[in-house]
Amino acid sequence: MSQYEKTCLIRADAGRAIRAILDRIGDKWTLLIVATLHGRRMRFTELQRHIPGISQRMLSLNLRHLERDGLVTRTAHAEVPPRVEYELTERGQTLIGPAVTLAEWAIEHNPDIAESQQAYDARQA
């Protein structure tokens, strides 16, 4: 039995929990938002400028999800004009290590994966 299977058997709903978390952090924007917030507090527009291609709606939606999950805090300052800042929570900071490891793995193995995909596609043609 693999370590993954053992982990999933600890609790009956562990597989579902793992899928839910991977769905959240594996989407198009979450890891970019988390990486951008790493070690700093940023206003919404500043954060949006640092993430090319993200729309205001998608950034807002993802920040709400991350706040709900306890990975990001939102601080609204009672000023005119209103000022809102976002930063990673302690829990959010713990995502940096695994995210960097995954990014390094992807960069290291991307050429081999591309080669495998080309070989597969050639066999299918």
Write out pLDDT tens, residues 62-121: 999 999 999 999 999 988 888 899 999 999 999 999 888 888 898 999 999 999 999 999
* CA–CA distances in Å: residue 55 to residues 44, 95, 125: 11, 23, 38
Confidence of residue 20 (pLDDT cuts 50, 70, 90): confident
Contact 82, 52 (CB under 8 A): no
51-79 pLDDT per residue, tens: 999 999 999 999 999 999 999 999 999 88
Apex 106 CA angle, 30 and 43, nearest 5: 25
CATH class of the domain comprising 29-94: mainly alpha
How high is the pLDDT of residue 8?
67
Domain boundaries, the chain: 29-94
Tokens found for residue 108: 């290291």
Which stretches of 38-95 are DSSP H helices? 44-50, 56-68, 90-93
